[in-house]
C-alpha cells in the first residue's frame, strides 16, 4: 500500500490475499464493495489500513559519518539522499540534532531543498562535539558555553528550539552541574529537551527546573530504552505535563503483525497527546532503513483511532514546536 501523505484514512485492508489485493487503489467503489462482501461472507478478519497522513520525525540525527567532511555533500548520505528518504516516507517535519552541530546547520541552511522536499527543519543544539562528550557533558562548563554560543548564533531555519539529544548512562549524572544548569535554562527559554535517560533521571532532570518539572518540555528519547515498565511510564506522564515519549527502539512496543502490544495501545489511548515517533538515525546503518522504519510506524498507527494516529504521527510534534 502506498504511504503518500495525501491519502486520507481509508477502508480496511483485507488480510486475505487473492484478487482483492490486486485492485489498484484503496478508493475504488469496487474495492469497498469487495471488502464489505468479504466481511459478509465471513472470509476472515480485516485489519486497519496503515496510517497515511503526515509524519513528524521527532528524533533525527545527521551526524558527520553520514555527510563526511563537507556537511551535506561528501559522505555516503548527502542531503538530497536523506531528504529523498524523508519525502518518500511522507515525513513533513524533523527534529534535527547532529554531532557536531554542522549537520543540523546543513539541513537548516538548505532552505530551498528542504522546502522542495516539503520538510520543515526544527533545529536543536546538540551537546556533543565528539564521542568523548557523551560521557562528560553533564559536568563540562565548556559545553554550557558552547550551548549559549550556539543559541545566540541561531540557524537560517530560525532559532534553535531545543537541547539534545543527550545521554545519561547513569541516572545520578543528572545531578551534574551542567545538566542542572541546562535544564533550568531550557525551562527559562522555552527550549524543548531531548533526553536519552532512564526513569530515575527524568525525575532528577525535572527537579532541576524552577517549576520542578511542571513547565519543562522534555521529549524522553525511546521512552525508556531499558524497558521502563508501562505503569511507571504512565506515572511520569501523569506527574509531568510537559513530558513526551518518543518511541524509537522502545522495547515491548510492538507485538504480532507489527501492531502495538495491548498495554502500549492502552497507554496511547490514555495519553494521546504525549507520544511522538522518530527515526533515531544515530548511525549510518539507520539511513537505508529509514523508509522501512516509517512504514512500521504507519502500520501500528493505523490500528489506532484515526484522530489518535494523526496526533502521534504528526500533531503532537507540530503542537510542541508551533508548526501549522
Q: Interface with Zn ion by CB under 5 A: which range of 7-15, 71-79, 159-167, 256-264?
A: 159-167
Would you count residue 282 as binding Zn ion (CB under 5 A)? yes
Q: Which residues pair with 135 in a beta bridge?
A: none
Cell for 270? 490514555
With respect to Zn ion, which residue has the nearer C-beta, 48 or 108? 108
Q: List the end-to-end C-alpha distance of the chain, in Å, as a whole number.
A: 27
Cell for 267? 497507554
With respect to Zn ion, which residue has the nearer C-beta, 166 or 309? 166
With respect to Zn ion, which residue has the nearer C-beta, 52 or 223? 223
Tell me which residue of 307, 312, 301 sits closest to 50, measured CA to CA.
301
Would you count residue 291 as binding Zn ion (CB under 5 A)? no
Q: Interface with Zn ion by CB under 5 A: which range of 7-15, 67-75, 151-159, 275-283?
A: 275-283
d(CA 175, CA 216): 16
Give me the least distance between CB of 59 and Zn ion, in Å please. Answer: 5
Binding to Zn ion (CB under 5 A): which residues in 91-130? Answer: none
Angle, helices 290-301 vs 79-88, to 10°: value is 20
Would you count residue 198 as binding Zn ion (CB under 5 A)? no
φ, ψ for residue 193, nearest 5 deg? -100, 135
Would you count residue 280 as binding Zn ion (CB under 5 A)? yes
Give me the least distance between CB of 264 and Zn ion, in Å please. Answer: 20
φ, ψ for residue 112, nearest 5 deg? -70, -50
Give me the least distance between CB of 227 and Zn ion, in Å please. Answer: 17
Binding to Zn ion (CB under 5 A): which residues in 164-193? Answer: 165
Contact of 297 with 277, CB cutoff 8 Å:
yes
With respect to Zn ion, which residue has the nearer C-beta, 271 or 282? 282
Q: Interface with Zn ion by CB under 5 A: which range of 11-19, 158-166, 209-217, 262-270?
A: 158-166
Report CA torsion sign: 269, 271, 274, 280.
Answer: negative
φ, ψ for residue 152, nearest 5 deg? -65, -30
Give me the least distance between CB of 283 and Zn ion, in Å please. Answer: 9
Would you count residue 246 as binding Zn ion (CB under 5 A)? no
Contact of 201 with 168, CB cutoff 8 Å:
yes
Residues that bind Zn ion (CB under 5 A): 165, 280, 282
Amino acid at each position: 500500500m502506498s504511504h503518500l501523505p495525501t491519502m486520507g484514512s481509508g477502508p480496511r485492508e483485507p488480510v486475505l490475499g487473492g484478487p482483492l489485493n490486486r485492485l489498484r487503489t484503496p478508493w475504488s467503489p469496487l474495492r469497498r464493495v469487495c471488502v464489505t462482501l468479504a466481511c459478509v461472507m465471513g472470509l476472515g478478519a480485516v485489519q486497519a489500513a496503515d496510517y497515511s497522513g503526515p509524519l513528524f520525525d521527532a528524533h533525527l540525527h545527521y551526524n558527520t559519518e553520514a555527510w563526511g567532511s563537507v556537511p551535506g555533500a561528501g559522505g555516503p548520505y548527502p542531503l538530497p539522499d536523506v531528504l529523498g528518504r524523508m519525502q518518500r516516507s511522507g515525513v513533513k517535519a524533523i527534529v534535527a540534532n547532529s554531532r557536531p552541530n554542522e549537520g543540523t546547520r546543513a539541513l537548516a541552511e538548505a532552505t530551498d531543498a528542504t522546502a522542495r522536499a516539503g520538510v520543515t527543519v526544527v533545529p536543536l543544539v546538540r551537546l556533543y562535539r565528539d564521542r568523548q562528550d557523551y560521557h562528560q557533558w553533564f559536568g563540562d562548563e565548556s559545553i554550557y558555553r558552547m550551548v549559549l554560543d550556539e543559541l545566540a548564533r541561531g540557524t537560517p531555519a530560525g532559532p534553535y528550539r531545543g537541547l539534545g539529544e543527550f545521554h545519561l548512562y547513569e541516572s545520578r549524572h543528572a545531578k551534574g552541574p551542567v545538566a542542572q544548569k541546562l535544564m533550568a535554562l531550557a525551562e527559562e527559554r522555552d527550549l524543548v529537551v531531548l533526553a536519552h535517560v532512564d526513569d530515575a533521571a527524568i525525575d532528577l532532570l525535572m527537579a532541576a527546573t524552577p517549576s520542578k518539572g511542571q513547565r519543562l518540555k522534555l521529549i524522553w528519547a525511546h521512552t525508556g530504552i531499558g524497558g521502563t515498565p508501562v505503569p511507571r511510564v504512565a506515572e511520569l506522564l501523569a506527574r509531568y505535563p510537559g513530558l513526551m515519549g518518543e518511541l524509537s527502539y522502545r522495547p515491548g512496543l510492538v507485538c504480532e503483525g507489527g501492531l502495538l502490544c495491548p498495554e502500549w495501545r492502552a497507554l496511547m489511548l490514555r495519553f494521546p497527546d504525549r507520544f511522538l515517533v522518530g527515526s533515531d538515525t544515530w548511525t549510518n546503518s539507520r539511513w537505508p532503513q529509514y523508509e522501512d522504519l516509517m512504514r512500521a510506524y504507519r502500520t501500528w498507527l493505523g490500528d489506532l483511532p484515526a484522530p489518535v494516529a494523526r496526533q502521534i504521527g504528526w500533531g503532537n510534534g507540530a503542537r510542541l514546536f508551533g508548526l501549522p
